[in-house]
Structure 1
Amino acid sequence: MSVITFDTIQDARRRITDYVLKTPFVSSPALSHFCGVSVGMKLEHYQTTGSFKLRGATNAMLRLNQAERARGVVAASTGNHGRALSHAARALGSRATICMSRLVPENKVSEIRRLGADVRIIGCSQDDAQEEADRLAADDGLLMLPPFDHPDIIAGQATLGLDIVDAMPDVATVLVPLSGGGLAAGVAAAIKGVRPAAQIIGISIQRCAAMKASIDAGHPVKVDEVPSLADSLGGGIGLDNELTFAMCQALLDDVVLLTESEIATGIRHAYNEEREILEGAGAVGIAALLAGKIAGLREPIALVLSGRNIDMDLHCRIVSGETNPLRNAI
């Protein structure tokens, strides 16, 4: 079904260990009390670039030879992959070009520029940005390192799953943010490689969940991309998806979709109860529990808090209870 084996994931972990943080795993007394079961949180938003994406980007960059790094790399991104790839490229003496749509928040764009990447803002969707990345790869000889549908990217993200099993060896349920599927597919492959009976549940947004729509259709489909508090979960999976669609279809036990109000509640809980600042995508596991959308909870439960790169003005509006926090945010 895929080229991502358990040995591949273990190799990726050894490869990136000196380049990424082993982020904390902590219990959540508040969520455990609310759910009546043990809940732990993987604080991946503590990662150097503020999200899990550094794992995959670093693994992919380290797999390149010097000649390939000298060509430069290119990717489309909703923000966090671009930031991670820019960081990894600079650390290894390469240069990144990042293509993004106008839906990517400015705080993410400015951080990518700060890391020295060449930034291209193209169109109003991830698909538009991907077309530009494809053009640059073809015309300028840049090496494509996409945000999710790539074996080295998936293997790098999967190392997070190994960390979860190390911290919670008896983990029974893992809630993981789901967009293009690199994180969800990788984490599922890693955890099921150790605990085959564990259930892995992808959490996405109700407004434009491309992977959920694709799984329901039985093949990759396009969706209209709209602004969301969980902007990192927007974008398509690619109609020519080679890996993550099949992996998510086979390895995810369920996919849960959240409203914007539910995502906002997750962000507020993270701040008020857990003392953590999360972007929308990073808070969806919390939000799904609070919304009661996970049926038949099997404990212990692990949540992946995947990123913190939220515009702080937007965060302030959310935690203050503003009813339309996306106003002027995109």
Structure 2
Amino acid sequence: MRLTPVKQSPALSELAGGPVWLKCEHHQETGAFKLRGAANAVARLGDVAGVTTASTGNHGRALAYAARQVGLPAVICVSRLVPENKRAAITALGAEARVTGASQDEAFEEARRLEREEGFALIPPFDHPDIVAGQGTLGLEILDQLPDAATLAIPLSGGGLLAGVALAAKARRPEIRIIGISMERGAAMAASLSAGHPVEVEEVETLADSLGGGIGRDNRLTFALCRDLMDGMILLSEAEIAAGIRHLAREDGETVEGAAAVGAGAVLAGKLRARGGPLVLLLSGGNIDPALHREIVGETS
């Protein structure tokens, strides 16, 4: 596990009206924050036949990595919407990327079968206490590096990242603001919070593919934690997400995937400003297809 760096973004700071810092978690092992939760969950396992999950890519890659470290087989169930580069990264770590269905919910059915019939431990990507606790280390790490941080902008999907970071950060600094950011297309947590209970949404293609998938109709932890701990939520269009990817590449020299660019996209769109102190944008992952990144940034191969 790496201690990932923070760096100030001069251009975003000017746009946001105050200091903006980038927490470069896309430099983590496996290219995303997910290793924190996966490694914590695997470390706490007993005797199992293997591990499984359903994933939009980054959690599956992290679980494959953590399982390989302790010699456990891993079967990662993914939907047809998961990009090929993320499936390939899973298999490169010695795990099986099993394509099942057209949504994360459908992929979960196969993971549950493996748990039920073959003795695999099912480690979900977000709604699990060990996952939330592992992601929470990011909140403590950010405040160790930037003790006066006033606002944390967190990519929001199933809520494991936001819940863990918010729990840890608010325990140390109760006044800190937690802003969740997601895409307009298929944001399950946003729809669930609006409805007042977990709901299903249609899973569609988006540049922020790591933020896709449902939160589970039987969500036990993250729905309530996000509802109670989040101070605001921002939704972005696909064009705004692309602008974030492009800006971070051109101005800050950082290659990130769509989910990691939502904080920058929100600042660029005028939807997020620094208030009362430093604003920290969590760059959650860098596992973007290289060809897609070149297309968005406007580079030629």
Same fold (TM over 0.5): yes
1:48-98 deviation line (CA, Å, top 9, x unaligned)? 100000000000011113x23xx1011000000000000000011111110
- Give the C-alpha shift of residue 296 in structure 1: 7.2
1:1-330 matched pairs, under 5 angstroms: 20-65=1-46, 67-68=47-48, 71-294=49-272, 297-320=275-298
Gaps spanning 5+ residues in structure 2: where?
none
Counterparts of 1:171 and 1:217, CA distance in 2: 31
1:204-226 deviation line (CA, Å, top 9, x unaligned)? 01001100110111100000000
Q: Give the letter for the 2:127 counterpart.
A: D
Counterparts of 1:61 and 1:195, CA distance in 2: 29
Counterparts of 1:303 and 1:294, CA distance in 2: 10
Percent identity, aligned pairs only?
59
Counterparts of 2:190 and 2:274, CA distance in 1: 20
Counterparts of 2:159 and 2:189, CA distance in 1: 7
Mean CA deviation greater in 81-90 or 110-119: 110-119
TM-score (norm 1): 0.89
- Give the C-alpha shift of residue 294 in structure 1: 2.1
Relative distance call for 1:76 and 1:178 in structure 2 (3 A) is same
Counterparts of 1:297 and 1:202, CA distance in 2: 15
**Runs of 4+ deviating beyond 4 Å:** none
TM-score (norm 2): 0.98
- Give the C-alpha shift of residue 131 in structure 1: 1.1
Matching residue of 1:15: none
Q: Give the letter for the 1:229 counterpart.
A: L
Counterparts of 1:248 and 1:321, CA distance in 2: 38
1:248-271 deviation line (CA, Å, top 9, x unaligned)? 000001111000000000000010
Instruction: Give the SS at the match of 1:139.
Output: helix
Counterparts of 1:32 and 1:311, CA distance in 2: 28
Counterparts of 2:201 and 2:276, CA distance in 1: 32
Q: Give the letter for the 1:39 counterpart.
A: V
Q: Give the letter for the 1:73 counterpart.
A: V
Instruction: Give the SS at the match of 1:272.
Output: helix
Counterparts of 1:277 and 1:144, CA distance in 2: 31
Matching residue of 1:10: none
Instruction: Give the SS at the match of 2:31.
Output: coil
Counterparts of 1:118 and 1:310, CA distance in 2: 20
Counterparts of 1:252 and 1:36, CA distance in 2: 22
Counterparts of 1:295 and 1:310, CA distance in 2: 26
- Give the C-alpha shift of residue 298 in structure 1: 3.3
Counterparts of 2:87 and 2:138, CA distance in 1: 25
- Give the C-alpha shift of residue 321 in structure 1: 8.4
Instruction: Give the SS at the match of 1:273.
Output: helix
Instruction: Give the SS at the match of 1:304.
Output: strand
- Give the C-alpha shift of residue 297 in structure 1: 3.0
- Give the C-alpha shift of residue 295 in structure 1: 6.0
What RMSD, in angstroms, separates the aligned Cα atoms of the two structures?
1.2
Gaps spanning 5+ residues in structure 1: where?
1-19, 323-330
Q: Give the letter for the 1:158 counterpart.
A: G
